[in-house]
Structure 1
Amino acid sequence: MKTVIAEKPSVAREIAALLGAVDKSDGYYSGNGYFVTWAFGHLIALGMPSDYGISGFGVEYLPIIPNPFVLTVRKIKLEGKYIDDKNAVRQLKVIERLFKNSTEIIIATDAGREGELIFRYIYEYLGIEKPLKRLWISSLTEKAICTGFENLKEGSEFEGLYHAARARSRADWLVGINASQALNVAAGQGIYSLGRVQTPTLAMICRRFLENKAFVVKPYFQIELQHNKQFVSFTSRSKNRWETRREAQQVWNSIERNGSAEVVSVDTKTVTEQPPLLFDLTGLQKEANKLLNLSADETLKIAQLLYEKQFITYPRTGSRYIPEDVWADIPKLINGLKVREKYHCAELVLKSGGLNKRILNDLRVTDHHGLLVTEKVPSSLSAKESAIYDLIAFRLLEAVSEVCIKNVTTAELQVLHHDFYIKGSSVVEPGWRAVKGDFNNKDSSLDVEINSVIVELPELKAGDILKIKSGTILEKQTRPPSLFTEASLLGAMEQAGNDIEDKDARGVLKGIGIGTPATRAAIIETLFNREYIVRNKKSLVPTDKGLQVYELVKDFNIADVAMTAQWELALRNIELGNLDAALFQKDLEEYSTVITKELLQSELNKQPDILCPRCKENYLSVKEKFVKCKGENCGWIQFRMICGIQLSLCEIEKLVNYGRTDLIKGMKSKSGKNFDAFIVLDEDGKSSFEFKVKDK
């Protein structure tokens, strides 16, 4: 008998049916020479400090460097204590019995780093040595599974993948456990955590937030002119910016008296927009966050469901290309989409005279190719599942379509001695843009960035005199660095190595992100669960707790994107067999010792000294829900949650020290309406709202 072990019961059920293992038992299927069983994700994990006889947060135990690492059954928390998960224990006994009664084990967990680790930890924990084969497939369709079993790979081919997965697991344990426990010892109260990827991600969010807050917004003014030629209306805009409305008004008065503008130069270029590549997981998560407002974690869960229902290929991919042997299936996939009315453009794509092979690249495919739909087209899905499926399906149709060709025109004008410009574009060949009929959205994946709005212009040439129908003074403001959304944060994590300041390090680490496509969503969710960040509409904003941790660790290597990117590079090299996992672990052990010592010497809970606005004698005590005077006879208190907005520590300081906060946006009245206001204090320390006076 051969035992096949899948990652989940649903996958095991599909495999068992195709193998003819139709007899259902407790925890497995059997028949036709096969046992087919399953895990429930990670049944086995690295032991916690208590498994090494360490309890509490005693400084005498730090750093904890296991030798050897201990594997334990998955734990669950019950009445404040961690105990073995009974379901995990029961399933492990089933797996152990089947392994003992088998001549061969076929690994059918998800074909990736985490899937490999799930099986290998079970295999190592049980200590049963049998010949290993590997099912390596990119979709769960009947065809893919049958083809996979006809071409099983030797388990030894994936030793590098296993060593990289185990090294990642141990690295996260060494840094996370030691740094978190050291931080909790230093804090003396509260629950804090640090992590190999979690902390540099928090640092990116906090740094951007502080840059945004510190940015001084300055108003500026531009002039926009309206023209008409050959029955086409269009506008031009001043190149200059004026600091005051008065200056802009004086210029406009002169221009209005002049009444016309001269065309100085006209430049028209033909621009070719290549179609976007297929989605990898990070790209799908970014697009779903921007268009559907779905979190990265939600998108991954929905994509995983679509994969298990056999509608899409393996979602945890880091590639946007396909190999040569998959190309022959592309016309079949597109042909299958034609049965749904919403994909009527599939017919046009097939008839366009040849599919674009831009996504075909064997060298750019990693463990799995870019996201594709399968030949099994869904007839009924939930709203969110349908939306994610549509993103993947339409992206496939776009990716194999022809290029979009546009004419982009830039004209320079002069009015008196002031320079103006006009930009416009027109579509020559719609190409891939015709799939959705959308010609105005700029896609971050495109190779060419052009003016994204289609503006038709009349024929213009140098020397033309254009009459000025009217003019408008545009009031604008300089923009601070944008706060991260989940989409932009995923992009920053993916491209972290590109932004490293050190030139040599940037050359080595370019294209190396922090985390992997499969883990980035979980990292962001961890920051939410730790109460380090919150959502403010679409933006990710650090809490006081998150800023507190950032201020403590911002100068340590644990918050350094460069170091984390170097670790990710090392893990890749371990997988490829170019680096010994033992050397990597030794480096992490040494680093864990250093960061533990640094954190134990730090002060986390040092609060700013803010004098009470009422008594002017005692300092304030800052709590999570309120701030109050430490003086027994004063009694001044200010609650931090006001109309749905939590006042940050920075806003509390401004309120008390200067009598007012900055403009706070997005507060909600009792009737549910949003409003913006300043919070101000009077001489007695009572707070009230002050509303911004709008210009007439």
Structure 2
Amino acid sequence: MSYILIVAEKPTAAKKIAESLAEGKFKVIKKNDVEYYYFERKGKPHIVAPAVGHLFNLSSINKKWFYPVFDYEWKPSYLVSKFSLFSKKYFEVLKELAPNASEVIIATDYDTEGEVIGYNILRFLLNRKDAKRMKFSTLTKEELIDSYENAMKTLDWGQLEAGLARHEIDWLWGINLTRALTLSLKNNGNRVFSILSTGRVQGPTLSLLVKREEEIENFKPKPYWQIFAFIKIGKAKYQAIYEEDKIWEKEKAQKVFSQSNKKVARVLKIKRRQYEQLPPPPFNTTDLQTESYNHFGFSPMQTMNLAESLYQRGIISYPRTSSQKLPSSIGLKSILQSLGKLPSYNKIVNKILSGNELHVVEGSKDDPAHPAIYPTKEVPNPNELTPQERKLYDLIVKRFLAAFGDPSIREAMHVVLDINGNKFILKGVKTVKEGWREFYYPYVADREILLPELREGEELEVEKVEILEKKTEPPARYTQASIIKEMEKRGLGTKATRSEILKTLYDRNYIIGKSIKVTSLGKAVVKILEQYSPKIISEELTRKLEEEMENVYNGKKKREEIVKEAKKLLEEILSDFKKVEEKIGKELSSAIMSSRNEKRILGKCPSCGGDLIIISYKGKAFVGCSNYPKCKTIYPLPRNARIEATGKVCEKCNTPIVRVFRKGKRAFSMCLDPNCPTKANWGENGNNKK
């Protein structure tokens, strides 16, 4: 029996497609634990079968570990990596279905990755050169039917060629630079060994983080003074600041303070200014990752995993997009009506629909493949979502609803006070008209500072005046949200890859912490590359390659042409690297040893001020002092656990507080002293955490 074979990217998507396209019931067929689906549409038999992402990956033809590597081929993923063994059964099912397929339709995600996934299945498993292509942004029944009925006659070749180019260039860059770094260690004759990685985007991103680290380390704080007057109006107290926000001379600050230490302030001038705040645009990938991190602390990778889950459920649109636009063709009114069925959104939706016409605010960014991220008409049962999924879904819905809101009107109030000839400023801000802010609650961050009605010439009571000495602060460290934004701004990586690059930097121990700090190893890698092979961490080079791949997408350049250029450039970089490989290896070896020692230090010894270090002896770990044998301070450590320093000290026993990680269990914090009073109730109702 012949049939039309539809290839989906993932099992969930395959089932959604079958449910949507089947005229009547569909049949579930199971082989080797892989489910695929048979149904009829317009009298024609169809089968929808899933992949599990990439079933093929690039692999070096020569299996020896050396560089440069320029000979490669596409191979089944399960033969390339042991972590992809699970994909073999999907590979075999599709291969078995191939001979009887009278026609093939590719229904993978509509982006460069999806195009490559579909094309590789098409050419390597189904023995075809082209196929029809379904293009959709949601896994809703209505859109899937439309994308089937109006399927593109061919693959999106521009998107495919750009995807293949990116795969080849990133693979070449990644494998060669990683091998070069790693082999520089191995060939150095030192016993220190570690897999070190860098890549076309990874290197410049790490370099960017190191530059910020250097700005912080080299920052020289400068003292300044601020003078505050605390004004009492009725029962409320308000804080006014001297008109010069920062006073840089101590003598001047003291003089102003002495003169202003009076009990009466006179209102000199009141200025009010109203201004509009437009709604924020609908989410694109980067904006969603940023807001999710700011409100929930979800990492960019975690956000994308949750968003992918919501997309696979059919309740939000495709989450990898640069667009901030919502075309009317997605059915804005019907989406609103569906959302209105959920009690959480009913009131807001009714307000929006009560207006004369729908007007949605959009941003400037666009994406030819997908619109901005939006909730679909297929609203979920909130109880079927995980707590994290519910949070992200609510954020996406509220952002979507906010785009229909009127501008918010805010009023800023600027009051100039006179205290014995010195001017102090009292500032207030309030919302005059909520507009979209009402729809986006609780994700609106602006503060309200409400001032009472005042009149010029009025005298107010000064409760006290304070002078504070402060110091200028270094630039803030990047967070996972802000570095993703910065990468986008600088053209480093893509909406789909930035979160993965960031995760790799964490996994390699190049960076640590939510407020990102570069480790000594991360700094060393950048400094060494900066000295001996600066092109590896060049932003300009990375941006140029991104532009070239965009040219392939737009048909302005051939894939083969830019891959050839990239190989030539890489060959030059690796040739220069070889000349200084020994020097690089020695310096990396030293950096790794330093990094390992650094990770062992948990804090200062309360007895002598030495370093408290994790020591392993006969399979057991404990903490000892670096000044042993002069100092014999020692503390036990929990077994079968990973211990990390926190930089904090226990107020009771003065020993460092550490973070304890055990597989499958929630991490907790504790101080090192087992006899600390804070541990008196350990074991009672989980009171064993600081």
- Cα 1:64–1:76 change in 2 (3 A) is closer
Structure 1 residues 570-593: Cα deviation after superposition (integer angstroms, max 9, x where no partner): 222211212222221122112211
CA distance in 2, matches of 1:132, 1:476: 67
Match of residue 561 from structure 1: 539
Aligned to 1:615: none
Q: Secondary structure at the match of 2:336?
A: helix
Alignment match, 1:541:
517
Judged with a 3 Å threshold, the aligned counterparts in structure 2 of structure 1 residues 604 and 668 are, in CA distance, closer, same or farther, namely farther
Partner of 2:322: 318
Query: Relative to 1, partners in 2 of residues 1:137 and 1:674: Cα closer, same or farther, differing over 3 Å?
Result: farther
In structure 1, C-alpha distance between the alignment counterparts of 2:502 and 2:646, rounded to whole Å:
24
Q: Which amino acid aligns with 2:210?
A: C
1:212 Cα shift?
A: 1.4
Q: Could you tell me which of 8, 29, 35 is aligned with 1:6?
A: 8
Deviation at 1:665, TM superposition (A): 7.2
Cα distance in 1 for partners of 2:593, 2:143 equals 63
SS in 1 for 2:400: helix
- Pair 1:414–1:553, CA change in 2 (3 A): farther
Match of 2:303 among 293, 299, 305: 299
* Residue in structure 2 matching 1:430, options 419, 431, 434: 434
Change beyond 3 A, Cα 1:248–1:364 = same
1:160-185 per-residue CA deviation (whole Å, 9 max, x = no partner) reads: 00011011111101211111212223
User: What amino acid sits opposite 2:525 in the alignment?
Assistant: V
Could you tell me whether the CA contact under 8 Å between 1:318 and 1:370 is conserved in 2?
Answer: yes
What is the letter of the counterpart of residue 398 of structure 2? F
1:74 aligns with 77
Q: 1:303 to 1:160 in 2, by over 3 A?
A: same
Residue 551 of structure 2 aligns to a residue in which SS? Answer: helix
Q: Distance in 2 between matches of 1:4 and 1:179?
A: 39
How many Å apart are 1:43 and its aligned residue?
Answer: 0.8
Aligned partner of 2:64 in structure 1 is: 55
Between the aligned partners of 1:227 and 1:523, the Cα distance in structure 2 is 51
Do structure 1's residue 42 and structure 2's residue 39 form an aligned pair?
no
The residue type equivalent to 1:107 in the other structure is I
1:317–1:371 CA contact under 8 A, matched in 2: yes
**1:547-568 deviations in Å (ceiling 9; x for gaps):** 1111112361221223222222
Seen in structure 2, the aligned counterparts of structure 1 residues 549 and 399 have a Cα distance that, compared at 3 Å, is same
The residue number in structure 2 matching 1:176 is 174
Which deviates more from structure 2 when the two are superposed, residues 217-226 or residues 238-247?
A: 238-247
Offset of residue 229 of structure 1 = 5.8
Hey, what does 1:514 align to over in structure 2?
492
Name the counterpart of 2:451. 456
Once the two structures are superposed, the pairs formed by residues 257-296 of structure 1 within 5 Å of their partners are 257=262, 259-261=263-265, 265-296=269-300
User: Using a 3 Å threshold, how does the CA distance of structure 1 residues 118 and 639 change in structure 2: closer, same or farther?
Assistant: farther
Amino acid at match of 1:566: K
For the residue of structure 2 that corresponds to 1:111, the secondary structure is coil
Partner of residue 487, structure 1: 481
Rounded Cα–Cα distance in structure 2 between residues aligned with 1:18 and 1:491: 37
Alpha-carbon contact 2:505-2:511 (below 8 Å) kept: yes
Is 1:586 the counterpart of 2:564 in the alignment?
yes
Q: Displacement of 1:93 after TM fit?
A: 3.2
Q: Distance in 2 between matches of 1:260 and 1:84?
A: 73
Residue 29 (str. 1) matches residue 31 (str. 2): no
Counterpart Cα distance in 1 of 2:653 and 2:585: 36
SS in 1 for 2:436: helix
Deviation at 1:6, TM superposition (A): 0.4
Distance in 1 between the 2:387 and 2:451 partners? 37
Q: Secondary structure at the match of 1:489?
A: helix
Distance change in 2, residues 1:439/1:98 (3 Å)? closer
Q: Which amino acid aligns with 2:516?
A: L
Contact 1:627 1:639 in 2 (8 A): no
Distance 1:438 1:37 in 2: 42
Residues 513-532 of structure 1: pairs in structure 2 closer than 5 A:
513-532=491-510
1:632-665 superposed Cα distances (whole Å, 9 cap, x missing partner): xxxxx956569xxxxxxxxx9xxxxxxxxxxx97
Contact 2:132 2:153 (8 Å CA) reproduced: yes
> Does 2:584 match 1:604?
yes
C-alpha deviation, 1:239, in angstroms: 3.2
Q: What's the secondary structure of 1:152's corresponding residue? A: coil
Q: In structure 1, the residue corresponding to 2:104 is in which secondary structure?
A: strand
Deviations 1:173-227 (A, max 9, x none): 1211111212223233321111111111111222212211222233422111233
1:358: how far off? 1.8
Aligned equivalents of 1:608, 1:114: Cα separation in 2: 35
Q: Could you say if the C-alpha distance between residues 560 and 260 of structure 1 is closer, same or farther in structure 2, counting changes exceeding 3 Å?
A: farther
Deviations 1:523-561 (Å, cap 9, x if unpaired)?
1111122221122xx212222221111111236122122
Q: Which amino acid aligns with 1:480?
A: P
SS in 1 for 2:504: helix
Contact 1:324 1:360 in 2 (8 A): no
Give the SS at the match of 1:375: coil
Cα distance between partner residues in 2 of 1:287 and 1:431: 20
Greater CA deviation, 385-394 or 428-437? 428-437
Structure 1 residue 282 displacement after superposition: 1.4
Q: TM-score, normalised by structure 1?
A: 0.78
Cα distance in 2 between the residues matched to 1:84 and 1:249 = 67
For residues 94 and 440 of structure 1, do their structure 2 counterparts lie closer, same or farther at Cα, with a shift above 3 Å needed? Answer: closer
**Cα deviation, residue 486, structure 1:** 0.6
Partners of 1:105 and 1:130 within 8 A in 2:
no
Question: 2:78–2:88: 8 Å Cα contact kept in structure 1?
Answer: no
Q: Which residue of 2 aligns with 1:625?
A: 597
1:667 is matched with which residue? Answer: 648
**Aligned residues of 2:231 and 2:463 also touching (Cα < 8 A):** yes
Residue 470 of structure 1 deviates from its aligned partner by 2.5
Deviations 1:66-114 (A, max 9, x none): 3xx411111478xxxx569554344323323323322221011111111
Question: Could you tell me how far apart the structure 1 residues matched to 2:441 and 2:390 are?
Answer: 20
CA distance in 1, matches of 2:595, 2:461: 64
Q: How far apart are the structure 2 equivalents of 1:674 and 1:339?
A: 55
CA contact (8 A) 1:43 1:118 kept: yes
Q: Separation in 1 of the partners of 2:304 and 2:530? A: 30
1:100–1:128 contact (8 Å) kept in structure 2:
no
Alpha-carbon distance in 1 for matches of 2:39, 2:361: 45
Structure 2 residue runs without a partner (length 5+): 187-192, 601-609, 616-625, 627-644, 659-690
Return the alpha-carbon distance in structure 2 between the equivalents of residues 665 and 85 of structure 1.
Answer: 36
Question: 1:457 deviation in Å?
Answer: 4.6
Counterparts in 2 of 1:263 and 1:572: CA distance versus 1, 3 Å: farther
What amino acid sits opposite 2:537 in the alignment? A
Shift of 1:598: 3.2
Q: Name the counterpart of 2:342.
A: 340
**Is the CA contact 1:278–1:399 (under 8 Å) kept in the aligned structure 2?**
yes
Query: Tell me, which stretches of 5 or more residues in structure 1 are unaligned?
Result: 443-451, 497-512, 611-619, 629-636, 643-651, 653-663, 678-696
- Residue matched to 1:366: 368
The answer to whether residue 390 in structure 2 is matched with residue 394 in structure 1 is no
Letter in 1 for 2:648: M
Q: Which residue in the other structure is 1:217 paired with?
A: 221
| Equivalence map 1:97-136=2 (5 Å) | 97-126=96-125, 128-129=127-128, 131-136=130-135
Match of 1:220, SS? Answer: strand
Q: 1:228/1:89 Cα in 2 relative to 1: closer, same or farther (>3 Å)?
A: closer
The residue aligned with 2:196 is: 192
- Alignment deviations for residues 220-260 of structure 1 (CA, whole Å, 9 cap, x no partner): 22111233568875332113323577753442221124x54
Instruction: Give the counterpart letter for 2:118 in structure 1.
Output: F
Aligned residue pairs, count: 596
Over 3 Å counting, the alpha-carbon distance change for 1:402 and 1:626 in structure 2 is closer
Cα deviation, residue 468, structure 1: 3.4
